Each structure stands twice: as C-alpha cells, then as structure tokens.
C-alpha cells in the first residue's frame, strides 16, 4: 500500500498529494509519469510526476477530479493509502540528456496550462539547480484556479501569469503572452508546454510561427502504461508512437493534434456514466423516454 502523507487543496478544483513510494521516488526524473490505482476495483490512472524526494521516499501528484476514478482519489485523506502507485514510467525529459554547454546555450520558455503547472515545476527546478533560469508562463481561467505561484517564482527566471478573465495579472491566454514576449524582442530556442490538449495545440501553433522548437507532455488514454496495450498510440511526424514508452514528451510541432483530441473522447459516455454511478449511485434519471 502507498500511504498518503500530505493532502492539500491547491485551488477550487485541484488537489496535491504526497505519497509514500520509496523505490519510485529514488528513480523518478523530470518528465516521467506514474500510474495510480485507488483500490481493488479502480482504474489505472496515469499522472505526470510533479515532484519527488528520494530521501523521504515520497512522490507528489497533482490532479483535478474529472471522472469517477479521480473523484475517488480526492476522497482519500492523509493516512489513507492507494492500492497501487507504480513508476516512474516513460522517458525522462529531453533536457536531462543535454550537456552543460547545451543547457547554458538555451533560452528556455515553459508554458503551463491549468493542472499542467504542477509537472512543469520539477523541470524548472531541475534547471534552477543547475544555475539556469527559465522563463515560465502560467495560464488559468481565473485567479481562483491559480496555484504554485510562489513555488514557481522561487525557481523560475521571469514568471508571467495570465488569466482568461483578467482577474489576475495579464488578461488573455498563454499564446498571447508568447506573442507579446517575442514582440518585445525576447528570444527562446526551447519551449516546453504542458497543460490541456487544446492549450498545448495552440501553444504549438504559436511557437511554430515564431520558430521555437516545442516539447509537449502527452497524457492519452492508457491501460497498463508499460508498453503492452497500445491504447496510448498517437501519430508523431507520420509515425505511430506509444506515449508510455516512446514519450510522454514529444515534438509538439509534429503531433497529429486532431487525432489525439478525438482519441481522448473515446470513453466519454462510459466515463460520464461512471461518474454518475460514483456520485449518485445511479446512471438513470428517467423521464427522457429514450430507454
């Protein structure tokens, strides 16, 4: 069992948990993910690793409850345990393969959308520990959904925050901030974007325009996460890739986004039913006359 040692609500919709998983914590690297299962009947849910502490033997996960499985996670309290936490999975981030000179020669820009802010943090921290200041843009719908502001500020170079409704700092979406920074004369030659698929797609369209190579972290539907089921396949540069073993990070300019977005919808009906079953104990309201 994998005990939850800390649980924190980061925003109205986002939770952070620090979980005991010593072997995983000792081997985790920025960019990798893990798989969590709440209980014996639970799904295997892939989540990007948001922090790790080898000495303490813990990993940090951040999630937004969107379906029955993640609702179950949110219902667990400190002292409770997950049935399974397995990983680290996937390849570590590309920045880990870069030499010191290469790292020093790069101008990094990280773009975070919503819950994607959390997995960006260990990458920026990793660079900070090596004396490299990366610029970071955090975008969210409204101020109440913002989290990790101070944490990110402590490791980032410049931190730009933007809200869709203008309730805090810039008003607008992350792509408009990228455009503004480039217009101001800032140059970047390595961008990492993590967030909702739609945000990553538009971020890539923008950076392509500015010729900034961009890496994204994909989180497609998975079952085992170890390179067995093929559910997580996506098309990158015309080739089939498996996010669990070839990714989760890919060249965002080469991804077939339309296909990825459609594939993410595959179980929407069942997921909706499962959520109703979890929350209300039934899926039928009656009265529609269709059943």
Partner 1 sequence: MGDVLKKIPVREQDPKVRGTNFDEVCYGYNEEEAVAEASRCLSCKNAKCIEGCPVNIHINEFIAKVKEKDFEAAYQIISKDSSLPAVCGRVCPQETQCEGKCIRGLKGEAISIGKLERFVADYAREKGIKPEVSCEKNGHKIAVIGAGPAGLTCAGDLARLGYDVTIFEALHKAGGVLTYGIPEFRLPKDEVVAKEVENVKSLGVKILTDVIIGRTESLDELFEQGFEAVFIGSGAGLPMFMGIPGENANGVFSANEYLTRNNLMKAFRDDYDTPIYKAKKVAVVGGGNVAMDAARTALRLGADVHLVYRRSEAELPARAEEVHHAKEEGIKFDVLTNPVEILTDENDYVTGIRCIRMELGEPDASGRRRPVPIEGSEFEMECDAVIMSLGTSPNPLIASTTIGLDTNKRKCIIANEENGATSRDGVFAGGDAVTGAATVILAMGAGKAGAKGIDEFIRKKYA
Instruction: Give me the residues that bind partner 1 (CB under 8 A), please.
Output: 23-24, 27, 37, 41-44, 68-69, 72, 83-89, 223-224, 226-231, 233-235, 240, 242, 245, 259, 262-263, 265-267, 270-271, 274
- Compute the CA torsion angle 169, 123, 121, 43 (nearest 10 deg): 130
Q: How far apart are CA 62 and CA 182, in angstroms?
A: 31
CB of 269 to partner 1, least distance (A): 8
The number of C-alpha atoms within 13 Å of 277 and in the hemisphere containing its C-beta is 8
The token pair that represents 77 in the structure block: 């309290």
Q: How far apart are CA 25 and CA 7, in angstroms?
A: 17
CB of 37 to partner 1, least distance (A): 6
24 versus 138: smaller Cβ distance to partner 1: 24
CB of 251 to partner 1, least distance (A): 18
Number of neighbours of residue 128 by Cβ within 10 angstroms = 15
Looking up tokens 């980061």 gives 10
Angle at 94 between CA 93 and CA 95, to 5 degrees: 90
CB of 119 to partner 1, least distance (A): 17
Q: How far apart are CA 162 and CA 165, in angstroms?
A: 9
Q: How far apart are CA 165 and CA 156, in angstroms?
A: 24
CB of 272 to partner 1, least distance (A): 10
68 versus 181: smaller Cβ distance to partner 1: 68
Task: Calculate the CA 238 to chain-centre distance.
Answer: 24
66 versus 228: smaller Cβ distance to partner 1: 228
CB of 200 to partner 1, least distance (A): 18
12 versus 240: smaller Cβ distance to partner 1: 240
9 versus 270: smaller Cβ distance to partner 1: 270
10 versus 243: smaller Cβ distance to partner 1: 243
């Amino acid at each position: 069992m994998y005990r939850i040692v800390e649980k924190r609500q980061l925003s109205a919709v986002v939770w952070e948990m620090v979980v005991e998983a010593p072997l995983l914590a000792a081997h985790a690297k920025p960019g990798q993910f893990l798989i969590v299962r709440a209980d014996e009947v639970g799904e295997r849910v892939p989540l990007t690793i948001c922090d790790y502490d080898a000495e303490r033997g813990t990993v940090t996960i951040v999630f937004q409850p969107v379906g029955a499985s993640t609702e179950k996670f949110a219902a667990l309290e400190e002292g409770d345990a997950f049935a399974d936490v397995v990983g680290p999975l996937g390849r570590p981030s590309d920045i880990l393969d870069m030499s010191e000179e290469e790292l020093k020669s790069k101008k990094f820009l990280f773009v975070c959308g919503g819950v994607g802010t959390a997995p960006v943090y260990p990458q920026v921290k990793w660079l900070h520990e090596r004396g490299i200041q990366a610029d970071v843009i955090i975008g969210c719908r409204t101020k109440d959904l913002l989290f990790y502001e101070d944490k990110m500020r402590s490791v980032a170079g410049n931190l730009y925050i933007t809200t869709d409704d203008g309730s805090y700092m810039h008003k607008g979406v992350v792509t408009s901030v990228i455009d503004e920074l480039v217009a101001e004369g800032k140059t970047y030659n390595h961008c990492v974007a993590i967030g909702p698929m739609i945000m990553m797609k538009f971020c890539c369209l923008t950076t392509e325009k500015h010729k900034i190579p961009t890496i994204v972290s994909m989180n497609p539907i998975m079952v085992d996460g170890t390179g067995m089921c093929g559910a997580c396949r996506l098309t990158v540069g015309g080739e089939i890739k498996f996010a669990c073993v070839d990714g989760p990070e890919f060249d965002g300019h080469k991804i077939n986004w339309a296909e990825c977005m459609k594939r993410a919808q595959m179980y929407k009906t069942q997921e909706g039913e499962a959520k109703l079953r979890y929350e209300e104990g039934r899926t039928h309201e009656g009265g529609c006359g269709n059943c």
